[in-house]
Amino acid sequence: MLVPKNLYYTENHLWLRKIGLYDFCIGITDFAQKEIGEIHLIEFSPQEAIRKEDPWGAVYGINKTFQLLAPCDCKIMEVNQNATLKPSHINTDPYNCWLFILSTHISTDEFLTYNDYREITK
């Protein structure tokens, strides 16, 4: 299982890449995409501001459906429309196929580190 060291993670198997002072790209981890199986569809909820643990979409695969839950209180700045057009790209490159860009004012201490995430996926 691939787990890049330079990203942050959530217990809900999302990865976050810091791209600005308060902005992050977010996607699903390699662990999650393997659990889901071949991804056929991604649905996004049309919300702009979301609260921590609120559902904001779903990823549908042949093995299971993966509910996307907000990792923190945040504002969705951009949705990756390419991910909805070719959702199977997540299976081949989960860490470069982001789903959202979000903005939040929380510290990265709120997220799991590489070592923390490796421990929960053993």
- Report pLDDT digits (tens) over 16-31: 999 988 999 999 999 9
pLDDT tier at 46, thresholds 50, 70, 90: confident
pLDDT tens digits, 3-12: 999 999 999 9
| CB atoms closer than 10 angstroms to residue 89 | 15
Q: Which helix (H) or strand (E) holds 35?
A: helix 30-36
d(CA 100, CA 54): 15
How far apart are the C-alpha atoms of 43 and 55, rounded to whole Å? Answer: 11
Query: 121 φ, ψ to 5°?
Result: -105, 10
Q: How far apart are CA 95 and CA 21, in angstroms?
A: 20
Q: 3-state class of 19 per DSSP?
A: coil
